Every structure is written in C-alpha cells, then in structure tokens.
Amino acid sequence: MVTMVACILAIMSMITPPDKGKGPKDVAVIETDSGKIVFEFFPDVAPKHVANFIKLADSGFYNGTAFHRVIPGFMIQGGDPNSKGDDRSTYGMGQPGQPTVPAEFSKISHKRGIVSAARRGGDINSATSQFFICVADVPHLDGQYSVFGRVIEGMDVVDKIVKVPRDQRDNPLKKVIMRKVYIKKLTK
C-alpha cells in the first residue's frame, strides 16, 4: 500500500507543476490589443528562467515587442527585441550580446498553456528573452526546452493570437504587440 501511494505521488509530481502554496506568488501579465494573458511562474523548476523573465519585464524590455511567430496547433512565440522594428526578416533572431540562460529541463510536459523558453537551434543553453506559449499538447518538446510557467488566465487571448493571418514564415501580417508586460503579486 505504501509503495502504491509513493508511486502515485511520484507520477503526480511528474505531470503536475509544483505549487508550494506559500502565500502570494509572482505572475506575469501581458497586455495586448487582443486582451490580457496572465501566467504563473515555476521558480522551483526553472529559477534562472523565471528570474530572467522577471528582470526583463521589470526593466520594460518586453513592452512593445510582438508575438512574431504563430503556428496553429503548436504555439505563439514572442519576446524578440527585433520585433520592435519593421524588418520582419530579423524577427526571431534576437540581438548579439543578449545574456543567455542555461537549460533547466524538468519533467513538466509541454501541454496547452505551458510557457517555455525559446532558444537558438540545437544549443540548449542559448535561451535569451524569447518565449513561447503552447496552444496544444506538444510532448515532443519535453526535455528539450525549459518550461518556466503556465497560463492561468487568457488562453482565449492566446487562441485569438494563434489564429491571426500570417505569412510563410508564420509571422502575423499585422503585428500582435505586447503593449505592456509586468509582474504582479497574486494571492490565492
């Protein structure tokens, strides 16, 4: 019986992101013309990615960036400083010199609503400011990208964004701008 309970708890820990319930927690708020997206962080799973996102949001870095890649049935991606400009051919490339964050893989699966760090090609330690939000379950990304949050409000907004008309590079024809991105305390 004890072994069965231990197995169940182990399985639950693999599929359920940690939430220690220790009072107020930080959440990210992304305001767009399509609405507001709020996601909780997983600091126990990816502390460096969480700290990086919070630092960038607090500095105003994300304000004015766009969701520059939208793929129905997969994800929306944003956070590239190049997306503030008009040269769409540079979107997704990031800028030289951006600090990188090493991979923090976990057992959390890339399910609908998961927020994960984008990276350059095959370099698992090349995450910078870019992130993506899964619009479907994409388990083939598990163990390859660093999950650091989950949408708790505004998946309807994410669904609107992923459906906008896009070009052959999956770049929205009309910019989907993150007007304001900030961190706030959420009490349970």
CATH number of the structural domain spanning residue 120: 2.40.100.10
What would you measure as the largest C-alpha separation in the chain, in angstroms? 62
Question: What pLDDT does residue 82 have?
Answer: 95
Structure confidence at residue 97 (pLDDT): 86
Q: What is the pLDDT of residue 24?
A: 72
**Residue 38 near residue 152, CB atoms below 8 Å:** yes
Say if 15 falls within a structural domain.
Answer: no
Q: Would you state the pLDDT for residue 16? A: 46
Q: Running DSSP on this structure, what letter comes out for residue 159? A: H
Question: Does 36 fall in a domain?
Answer: yes
* pLDDT tens by residue, 141-175: 999 999 999 999 999 999 999 999 999 999 999 99
Nearest to 74 by CA among 112, 36, 19: 112
Per-residue model confidence (pLDDT) at position 96: 85
Tell me the average pLDDT across 104-129: 95
Q: Is residue 97 part of a domain?
A: yes
Cross-strand bridge partners of residue 143:
none
* Residue 7 confidence (pLDDT) above 80: no
Share of the chain above pLDDT 70, in %: 87
Looking at residue 10, its pLDDT comes to 45
CB crowding 127-151: b at 16 or more within 10 Å, else e: bbbbbbbbbeebeebbeebbbbbbb
Residue 114 lies in a domain: yes
Length of the chain in terms of residues written: 188
**Token couple for 51:** 């700290």
Number of domains the chain contains: 1
Task: Please write the tens of the pLDDT for every residue from 52-82.
Answer: 999 999 999 999 999 999 999 999 999 999 9
Residue 138 has pLDDT above 60, yes or no: yes
Q: Which of 104, 35, 123, 25 has its CA nearest to residue 76? A: 35
pLDDT(4) > 70 = no
- Asked whether residue 112 is assigned to any structural domain, the reply reads yes
Q: What's the pLDDT score for residue 19?
A: 52
Strand order in the sheet with 114-117: 67-71, 75-78, 131-134, 114-117, 147-153, 35-41, 25-32, 178-186
